[in-house]
Structure formats: C-alpha cells, structure tokens
Amino acid sequence: LVTTEVFTASAEFRKVTVEARLTVEPRAGVSATASAVVAELNRYFHALEGGDEGEGWPFGGAVYFSRVFERILAAEGVLRADQVRVALDDGPFVECQDLEIGAGRLLYSGQHQVIASAVRTNG
C-alpha cells in the first residue's frame, strides 16, 4: 500500500513600493504620465499577471532595480527618470540596489509615489 500526502500553504507576500521623480515629454500630460507609470508598476508587480513576461511574478524572484527603471521609462509620456527608489514592506527606500524577497515569496504593490514634472524649456 502506497499513500501520498500533499501539504499546501499559502504564499507569503511582500509589499514593494516605488518612489519616482520623472520628467515628461513636451507634449505629454503630467498627470496622465504619472498615472501611466503607477499603472505600469502595479501591472509589473502583480503576482499572477506581472513579471518580465507578464505570466506572473516568479516565487522568490528578486526585484531588479534595472527592470523597475526600464518599466518606468517604458510608460507612455516619460522623457527621463530623474530618481527611482524602491522599498520592501515598510523598510527604507534604496536606490540602484536589487532587493531579494526570499524563497517562496511573492510581491504585491504598495502605494507607489510618482512625482512628474514638465520638461523645462529655455525662453
């Protein structure tokens, strides 16, 4: 007689929050661009539909700073990202660092803060 036991446990989630200061393209709306960046970050960090391939965040997958920066630059209306900082849970915000979330864990978005400014023109 052979038996099998299956144990399941719910995933442990970590909150990821991004603070970004950016400059918008000359013809883009400041508010619309900030909203587009927040929407892109929420999509990217979604446990089931996020990640690099849009097939869900990988269990234990690190938050790579370069990927977060790329997502911000890819949002409609962004000319440049002037500052990007990322935090896990309620920890400190860090710049230019990858963040390990821990084996078997997933992410969810916190309240991303995006400050968008119009491009300055001379004259």
pLDDT per residue over 32-91, tens digit each? Answer: 999 999 999 999 999 999 999 999 999 999 999 999 999 999 999 999 999 999 999 999
Judge whether 72 and 81 are in contact, CB under 8 Å: yes
Q: What is the pTM of this model?
A: 0.89
pLDDT average, residue stretch 17-24: 98
Q: What is the model's pLDDT at position 2? A: 82
Q: How confident is the model at residue 27 (pLDDT cuts 50, 70, 90)?
A: very high
Q: What is the model's pLDDT at position 90? A: 93
Count Cβ atoms within 10 A of the Cβ of residue 66 and give its class: 0-12 exposed, 13-18 middle, 19 or more buried: exposed
